[in-house]
Chains A and B, each alone.
Chain A
């Protein structure tokens, strides 16, 4: 942080209420404040299995004890308080995105998500206007609407008992993403396979050779698809990401890595927020009634859903210089997991945080990340989910309900979403 400021009237961010200014200053600037800092407690009771099943009770217990823990099972620190996660997002000089031995780099190449500025910014700028609100309004919304109609037909054909995630949300998100990215030479099923296998690679902490093999196969297929599309778009430009990249002097290696990262995040986020929101509303009849009566509330339902269950629940950072984060000492080279899924349920910021409540007072959540890595697909996700799919699905499927005979299952913590969600309608 190069700028210095002198504050004449003290007013603090609500997130840091109660924190001493000196301590806050230390956290933000990355300096240490001797005497006020301590080592992170060790949480050896946290297991990968328990996190996968339901991370939220674990997050609650962790947060109550300290904002940062050392988690042996993860071999990294885990940051669970809102204030600490927020401080990391605002300070990319201390918390680098360029993690060493990154599984994501191995699975997808070195994408903008694992670069710091200025390299990150050059890659991000190469995405141009494709994902911005004006292009979405002028160009993508019509396409999303058509895809909605096709996917709804598919869901209806599967009939009651169909799985909302796999018969609707996943193909809808995949087909939207395919066209936004410009993979005219692939199918939505390819997109789903590529996304899942490469994401499995980025989470392959167990170093399973079978997972690497699948991930590498997808990676090669994506390379081939990109190689085929780039020359095509030179002569036939459209609004897609690949088309924009075709005319830029940007290294092929960066294009490949960034496109793979986008296949990963661009599919599961809209898919999972769509399914989670429908699931949550179907369990809360009063809130469902409210959104059906006033479709403008779908925006609030969307934002509450990503607060409640952030589809990307954790991302990694590496400490670039010794620092004190909310009173906890961290050293250069330490690896941390920023658990935004936990931050978004911090009772210091959100009242009754464990409940899904679309009427709760609006506060900034961290589900799209913050700072320079703020999710580039945020507006595309909002458009396809909150503006198009959500308002229509309850109209088009009257009496939509969860299938009582086989209960829905959610899972995951780095990525969290509905794994099974059988539904019925009238």
Chain B
């Protein structure tokens, strides 16, 4: 199972194993990772699953779709070129060891 690490704004890291094919958001919410809300259940409709993907792990992720792009304009914390919606990233074995930063706020 792929390993994911969520790094809080405080620097504290939460490492977990996710079933293949699940989304970053689902993995975080099911494990109670602070700061990932996932209000809309993964429909790219709430922007409360915002994460910053570390540049060294950005390769091989799916492209940002139009829906994701417009929703990323609605995030509470600043949007950067590393911004993604956790619900739109499916975790595959090739992403084992991915590290993402949790933004300072989601709501």
- Residue numbers of A with Cβ under 8 A of B are 1-9, 11-14, 16, 24, 28, 89-90, 124, 129, 132-134, 303, 362-365, 368, 370-374, 376, 378-379
Contact = CB atoms under 8 A, between A and B. Distances in A.
Contacts of A11: 12, 14, 31-34
B74 A133 contact: yes
A364 B32 contact: no
B30 A9 contact: no
A374 B46 contact: yes
A364 B27 CA distance: 18
Decide if the interface of chain A is mainly helix, strand, loop or mixed: loop
Give the contact-size bracket for chain B: 35 or more
Contacts of B39: 364, 368, 370, 374
A364 B22 contact: no
A3 B30 contact: yes
Contact of A2 (B19, B41, B76): B19
Contacts of A9: 13-16
Nearest to B21: A3
B2 to A, nearest CB: 11
Given A13-B34, A364-B37, A374-B41, A7 B16 contact: yes
Given A362-B107, A371-B41, 19 more contacts: A3-B19, A3-B21, A3-B26, A5-B30, A7-B16, A8-B15, A8-B17, A9-B14, A9-B16, A11-B31, A11-B33, A24-B32, A89-B41, A90-B29, A132-B67, A133-B74, A370-B40, A373-B41, A378-B45
Contact of A5 (B13, B31, B34, B71): B31
B78 interface: no
A126 to B, nearest CB: 13
A3 B42 CA distance: 15
A132 B17 contact: no
When A and B form their complex, which 6 residue pairs have the shortest distance between CB atoms, in order from nearest? A13-B32, A374-B40, A371-B41, A3-B19, A134-B70, A3-B22
Contacts of B53: none
Contacts of B12: 11
Interface string B94-107: 00000000000111
Contacts of A124: 43
B31 A7 contact: yes
A11 B7 CA distance: 12
B74 to A, nearest CB: 5
A265 B37 CA distance: 24
B96 to A, nearest CB: 14
B51 interface: no
Contacts of A379: 45, 74
Given A133-B73, A363-B107, A370-B40, A5 B45 contact: no
Contacts of B30: 1, 3, 5, 28
